[in-house]
Chains A and B, each alone.
Chain A
Amino acid sequence: MIKDITIGQFFPGDSFVHKLDPRMKLVLTFIYIVAIFLCQNFFSVGLVFALTVLCVLLSRISPRVILKGMKMIFFIILFTSVLQIFYNKTGTTWLDAKYFQITSGGVFTALFVVIRIISLILFSSLLTYTTSPTLLTDAIERLFSFLKIFKIRVHTLAMIMTIALRFIPTLIEEIDKIMSAQKARGADLESGGVIKRAKALIPIFIPLFVNAFRRAYDLALAMECRCYRGSEGRTRMRQMHLAFRDYFALAVTVCVVAAIVFFNIQFGSVL
């Protein structure tokens, strides 16, 4: 079912990772993503991977959920590693069939790339797993509020994002419901060629869009009734404060980035 997608979902909790200030989490996630791309050898990538695993453990999100999220990108991982193994022809040759060779260089690069992708996905999904969408957009709005000087309407964009995120689960639920209803009338969504399947989507998407527009009107009306008029003079219900743990996390990150740079210089590159 569509509901089984876990990437982008939020799992409430009160772990160390959950409690970090969302602005700090956002910045640190960004730094880590950059750091992952900076890694050039197994020492640095190993360090990043270990840290990722540590953060996942700290967040106390059930490993089942994490694995389910990884299932989605399984094919990307498989595809990349197969590509790397056959493409890269450096190092000692381990297997020499007529049409392809498997070399140590190929296997190592594949391994390296896979660890990188897994760390990348794990780390960025951890951000959404542990931060509620409203907090996340709130953080984005604050972090980017300096763009106001370029006449960019940060608040409006953040509001659009909040609403969009808020309605994703609603829309998914709705798709499920409409699909069930049309299946109950004998709609066949599972068989036939491409054209037949595309046609079978019409009974799903028309009601979905009609309902989405209806809901948008209702929401706009409700917001107007409560005198919503953008960011002007709007105060916040939730103030964000940086705590000791945020500075601690920042310090750890700085150390890790320094270590990566050091490893890169010390041990060279495998790529």
Chain B
Amino acid sequence: MSLLEVKNLTYIYGKGTPFEMRALDGVSLSVEKGEIVALIGHTGSGKSTLIQHLNALLKPHSGQVLFMGKDINADKALTRSVRFQVGLCFQYPEYQLFESTVYRDIAFGPTNMGLKEDEVRAAVSEAAAFVGLKEDYFEKSPFDLSGGEKRRVAVAGVMAMRPEVLILDEPTAGLDPNGRRVILSLIRNYCTQTGKTVIIVSHSMDDVASLASRIIVMNRGKIAMDGSVEQVFLRSAELTKMGLNIPQVTQILLELKKRGYAVNSSVFTLEGARRELLRVLKEGGGAK
């Protein structure tokens, strides 16, 4: 039994109006415990729509979403408990902060779960540590923080519910390179420390390559590819057709290969590329 299973999901925005829009069309997938899945796709391909089904914020027009084998839309109590077990962090989550202090904002989720005060405090501290927020931030107003810090508070607000599955919608959108790096390494830390399942939506292939173990590519409301990082990035021609890229380092290696250097182009991270290039250089600069 998979942890999370989506069966033949279809969703139409504005059903019954002139503005009908088929955002999801027969999507099926399953996610196992401990996986780190990246969901990529062109703007408007239905990624955000899909993930909102995973915690029953949207109800499918046809198809099912199963969490630990149970249909999450079957009854209200189950839906509510799934909201805590499948933690969803929206795109630009900093615009949803509302409390008077950082602590209270992070505590919103755990409090809604009905935890006792000391349990809430423990959950908040743990989540704040995951996103690298020091305790002296707790009494500040979330509106006085920088953009990147707000983002971290918002992510912590979801982590504090200790969800089985953490879903992040474009966690690095709109951040500067440094902010992106920080957020990504925090997520990586979270994964290794908790071993929980993480689904991350992203536009950036470089981010995805360094983080995920599996990639799901969406195109026009359908799943176009689903496989390991290597399997997906080897199909670069198809990706380009969908308006997507492969990681920049892979592009460089492919270009080198085209010019006759004996490099292995199925390398997707900066570190891997460095090693590969050093190896080739050591072996005499490759065959020209």
Of A84-92, A149-157, A206-214, A232-240, which binds chain B? A206-214
Asked if B83 contacts A186 (CB within 8 A), the reply is: yes
- Determine if A197 is an interface residue (Cβ-Cβ < 8 Å): no
The CA of A203 and the CA of B157, in the complex, are separated in Å by 13
- Determine if B249 is an interface residue (Cβ-Cβ < 8 Å): no
- Determine if B221 is an interface residue (Cβ-Cβ < 8 Å): no
Q: Which residue of A lies closest to B113 (CB)?
A: A186
The CA of A62 and the CA of B18, in the complex, are separated in Å by 8
Asked if A184 contacts B98 (CB within 8 A), the reply is: no
Of A100-108, A138-146, A175-183, which binds chain B? A175-183
Q: Which residue of A lies closest to B157 (CB)?
A: A185
Q: Indicate whether A184 sits within 8 Å of B18 (C-beta atoms), given known contacts A207-B96, A211-B95.
A: no
Q: Indicate whether A184 sits within 8 Å of B88 (C-beta atoms), given known contacts A203-B108, A206-B98.
A: yes
Cβ contact of A184, chosen from B14, B90, B97, B143, cutoff 8 A: B90
Q: Which chain B residues in 16-41 approach chain A with CB under 8 Å?
A: 16-18
A39-68 near B? 1/0 per residue, CB < 8 Å: 000000000000000000000001011001
Q: Which residue of A lies closest to B16 (CB)?
A: A64
Asked if A188 contacts B112 (CB within 8 A), the reply is: yes
Q: Which residue of B lies closest to A179 (CB)?
A: B57
Asked if A65 contacts B95 (CB within 8 A), the reply is: no
Residues of B within 8 Å of A182, CB to CB, are: 96, 108
Asked if A11 contacts B18 (CB within 8 A), the reply is: yes
Residues of A within 8 Å of B17, CB to CB, are: 6, 64-65, 68
Most A CB atoms within 10 A — which of B83, B96, B108?
A: B96
The CA of A188 and the CA of B76, in the complex, are separated in Å by 11
Asked if B55 contacts A184 (CB within 8 A), the reply is: yes
- Determine if A38 is an interface residue (Cβ-Cβ < 8 Å): no
Q: Which residue of B lies closest to A206 (CB)?
A: B98
- Determine if A76 is an interface residue (Cβ-Cβ < 8 Å): no
- Determine if B128 is an interface residue (Cβ-Cβ < 8 Å): no
The minimal Cβ–Cβ distance linking B116 to chain A, given in whole angstroms, is 16
The number of residue pairs between A and B whose CB atoms lie closer than 8 Å in the complex comes to 63
Most B CB atoms within 10 A — which of A65, A186, A202?
A: A186
- Determine if A72 is an interface residue (Cβ-Cβ < 8 Å): no
- Determine if A187 is an interface residue (Cβ-Cβ < 8 Å): yes
- Determine if B109 is an interface residue (Cβ-Cβ < 8 Å): yes
Most B CB atoms within 10 A — which of A65, A181, A210?
A: A181
The CA of A210 and the CA of B113, in the complex, are separated in Å by 26
Asked if A202 contacts B83 (CB within 8 A), the reply is: no
Q: Which chain B residues in 96-146 approach chain A with CB under 8 Å?
A: 96-98, 108-109, 112-113, 143
Q: Which residue of B lies closest to A178 (CB)?
A: B96
Residues of A within 8 Å of B96, CB to CB, are: 178, 181-182, 203, 207
- Determine if B247 is an interface residue (Cβ-Cβ < 8 Å): no
Q: Indicate whether A186 sits within 8 Å of B109 (C-beta atoms), given known contacts A64-B16, A181-B96.
A: yes
Asked if B87 contacts A184 (CB within 8 A), the reply is: yes
Asked if B108 contacts A185 (CB within 8 A), the reply is: yes
The minimal Cβ–Cβ distance linking A122 to chain B, given in whole angstroms, is 18
Q: Which residue of B lies closest to A211 (CB)?
A: B95
Residues of A within 8 Å of B233, CB to CB, are: none
The CA of A100 and the CA of B98, in the complex, are separated in Å by 54
The minimal Cβ–Cβ distance linking B240 to chain A, given in whole angstroms, is 31
Q: Which chain A residues in 149-208 approach chain B with CB under 8 Å?
A: 177-178, 180-188, 202-203, 206-207
The CA of A3 and the CA of B96, in the complex, are separated in Å by 20
Residues of A within 8 Å of B113, CB to CB, are: 186
Cβ contact of A186, chosen from B80, B93, B97, B98, cutoff 8 A: B80
The minimal Cβ–Cβ distance linking A156 to chain B, given in whole angstroms, is 30
Q: Indicate whether A210 sits within 8 Å of B57 (C-beta atoms), given known contacts A185-B112, A186-B109, A186-B112.
A: no
Residues of B within 8 Å of A203, CB to CB, are: 96, 98, 108
Asked if B83 contacts A183 (CB within 8 A), the reply is: yes
Most A CB atoms within 10 A — which of B18, B89, B158?
A: B18
Q: Indicate whether A210 sits within 8 Å of B88 (C-beta atoms), given known contacts A185-B109, A203-B98, A203-B108.
A: no
Residues of B within 8 Å of A210, CB to CB, are: 95, 98, 143
The CA of A122 and the CA of B116, in the complex, are separated in Å by 54
The minimal Cβ–Cβ distance linking B201 to chain A, given in whole angstroms, is 14
The CA of A201 and the CA of B28, in the complex, are separated in Å by 35
Residues of B within 8 Å of A183, CB to CB, are: 57, 83
The minimal Cβ–Cβ distance linking B170 to chain A, given in whole angstroms, is 14
- Known contacts A177-B90, A181-B90, A185-B109, then 19 further A-B pairs from the complex at CB < 8 Å, ordered by chain A residue: A62-B18, A64-B17, A65-B18, A68-B16, A178-B95, A180-B52, A182-B108, A183-B57, A184-B87, A184-B88, A185-B83, A185-B157, A186-B84, A186-B109, A188-B80, A202-B98, A207-B98, A210-B98, A211-B95
Chosen A-B contacts, 22 in total, with CB atoms closer than 8 Å, are A6-B17, A65-B17, A68-B16, A177-B90, A181-B93, A181-B96, A184-B55, A184-B57, A184-B83, A184-B87, A184-B89, A185-B109, A186-B83, A186-B112, A187-B112, A202-B98, A203-B96, A203-B98, A207-B97, A207-B98, A210-B143, A211-B95
Nearest first, the 8 A-B pairs at minimum CB distance are: A186-B112, A206-B98, A185-B109, A184-B88, A181-B96, A181-B90, A203-B98, A180-B57
